[in-house]
Structure 1
């Protein structure tokens, strides 16, 4: 079998993440730590803007590489070398994050340019697929090669104009993607693999939150720090429970029913655009929780960590509300949980000057638990009753 045959789309029911994909994700463990660490302490609007700006390129590249692995089940040595080179490029970007807005911007830009060339190498064989799976050559040449060359050129642009160039390049890429509307996708996306990969990334950012709690408690070994850390763990556990019991399950059902271009558009919007905000919210919470533990002995939590923690939770719920609406849920049904899910954290952040760190985390944990209980109650109410042994088995279907 040739490499082209191995990469060609075919039916892959019940497919799971490959070892190469899991190894590749390790670089994002470091990326999550670097980005979250930039929000430790008392961040202001510039720090939040830098965080969101530096997070999008690696997140978007991860999405692109995930889709290529989803469409092309190829375990050739060629693909392995390409993915390992992408890991090196992303590792360089992660190392540049602390000073990417100043002295290390060129390294960040060149690292991202390298990942665009990897993407070109992964998609170029699809330009030789038989019809109807063939990809027009202009698409990888414009989306991957031209973008990579422009990112490389941006390394020579001095700040702050360098960041303007990055913003323009990202906007142009999004415009190209949105206008394509699924044309040129060689085959059908595997919904189960897609949802599993996104879930694994969510686990990575939850893992950064847990690690932040542990390391901060180690630095501030007091009873107050222990209380805040335990409450923070309860908050994260409730979010994990609701995400993987309800969010990922609903996504797999909706994406599994979608066909053709609609499946691609749903995957792009939910897995790409909206999960950027889901994961960004969790990373903000990781930073806020770390600072809350470190400031556990203070009379109140400073504004920066309060907004990182409570604002991160509000962003997390807002992104899930947008996902539910994209699924086709009723705006009224979504508002029932989305309004308190966003409103309570925002109110907590606004009142941070009169709330002790432990109380801030307690209120947010209580909201997350209430959200989980509502979701479980709603699911139990909608679940059809099981048929008894004497019933016609067709009645339960």
Structure 2
């Protein structure tokens, strides 16, 4: 074994094959989340989806950020990563009715994932003296966050969800309270954006799978086919928009870097939920009005994605010391978010292809109006 013995800042570091293999299990978890939302596109179902998405996403963030700083890709790291994969698989199994009968099992699976992450940081603390201040803070913060999740196994709802919320808040605040320690251990400006891009591909892949799943078994009516094609155009435009800005700069020592990281949660949720909405829109009977649940799910999800990406663009502009007002895209995306919410409110009579076509056009508009220029990106958590 070759344990980590020092933190080395590698500006051009790339994801390892082990990390790419680790992402595979999240394909299953994201698919399970989208499926559950499609089965229950009501407001309580959307709330359950959001509540379950956060621990799935945060478990990925934890391992990704650790690997960026300390991954030795040795036998011990790979074995601990394999255990993390088993934990995520267990989490995915519990997603079905994860806010109901399977809630205790889901909480235990998440506790196991956090415990494994604490063990990884304990390994870094042992082998890398310069990492001890940051590793110690993370171990304390993540251990405190684990306690409410563990306690939730033994209490009924809704108190259980209050404990989940408390644990997540502690988890999210721990990196924010550790900024001085992070400065001594900068993240790679190449590795972290690459990892976020790969997770975005997983989510966009779920949207494409939703298009295929929606068309499968349907009669090839012109309206359904057009809805599917325009849904794909929306997913493609969002991918183009995201990866066009994948190389924009975020200074890792500025607070806007963490805004960039945390806002990705809402972008990923929006893209995943829009995929579930797409499948419902494609399945809408031809000639009949779209159900309010399907319409609101798609419109609210796309609005969330547009608004989140507007914040991400603004964070990148502020981080580089540029003049955010000169970039029209954040404003255009916020306008797109408002337009989709308006369609959700007033679009009872609209056919599904108008909804998906509107989303695709609004996503493509910033690309046409303001072509991007590639630069280098980095962030910090």
TM superposition score normalised by structure 1: 0.86
- CA-based RMSD: 2.3
Q: Deviations along 1:328-379, whole A, 9 cap, x unmatched? A: 1525745541332212211221122110112221222222222321232xx4
Q: What is the DSSP-based 3-state SS (H/G/I as helix, E as strand, rest coil) of the residue aligned with 1:38?
A: helix
Indicate whether 1:347 and 2:342 are aligned: yes
- Cross-structure match for 1:9: 7
Once the two structures are TM-superposed, the CA of residue 128 in structure 1 deviates from its matched residue by: 3.2
* Aligned counterparts of 1:68 and 1:28: Cα–Cα separation in 2: 17
- Cross-structure match for 1:338: 333
Q: What is the DSSP-based 3-state SS (H/G/I as helix, E as strand, rest coil) of the residue aligned with 2:132?
A: coil
Once the two structures are TM-superposed, the CA of residue 94 in structure 1 deviates from its matched residue by: 1.0
* Aligned counterparts of 1:133 and 1:116: Cα–Cα separation in 2: 19
TM superposition score normalised by structure 2: 0.90
Segments of structure 2 that go 5 or more residues without pairing to the other structure are 376-381
* Aligned counterparts of 1:123 and 1:331: Cα–Cα separation in 2: 41
Once the two structures are TM-superposed, the CA of residue 211 in structure 1 deviates from its matched residue by: 0.5
1:219-230 equivalences under 5 Å are 219-223=217-221, 224-230=223-229
Q: What is the DSSP-based 3-state SS (H/G/I as helix, E as strand, rest coil) of the residue aligned with 2:370?
A: helix
Once the two structures are TM-superposed, the CA of residue 220 in structure 1 deviates from its matched residue by: 1.2
- Cross-structure match for 2:189: 191
Match of 2:264 among 272, 275, 286: 275
Q: What is the DSSP-based 3-state SS (H/G/I as helix, E as strand, rest coil) of the residue aligned with 1:61?
A: helix
- Cross-structure match for 1:242: 241
* Aligned counterparts of 2:241 and 2:138: Cα–Cα separation in 1: 38
Once the two structures are TM-superposed, the CA of residue 137 in structure 1 deviates from its matched residue by: 6.2
Q: What is the DSSP-based 3-state SS (H/G/I as helix, E as strand, rest coil) of the residue aligned with 1:285?
A: helix
State how many pairs are aligned: 368
CA contact (8 A) 1:124 1:140 kept: no
Change (3 A) 1:74 1:109: same
For the pair shown, the structure with the greater C-alpha radius of gyration is 1
- Cross-structure match for 1:390: none
Change (3 A) 1:2 1:370: closer
Q: Deviations along 1:63-101, whole A, 9 cap, x unmatched? A: 111010100131111111111111111111111112111
Q: Deviations along 1:150-208, whole A, 9 cap, x unmatched? A: 42332122222111110111122333332223425662200111000000000000000
CA contact (8 A) 1:310 1:345 kept: yes
* Aligned counterparts of 1:56 and 1:134: Cα–Cα separation in 2: 28
CA contact (8 A) 1:212 1:286 kept: yes
CA contact (8 A) 1:213 1:229 kept: yes
Indicate whether 1:285 and 2:284 are aligned: no
Match of 1:303 among 272, 292, 316: 292
1:101-120 equivalences under 5 Å are 101-120=99-118
* Aligned counterparts of 1:103 and 1:347: Cα–Cα separation in 2: 36
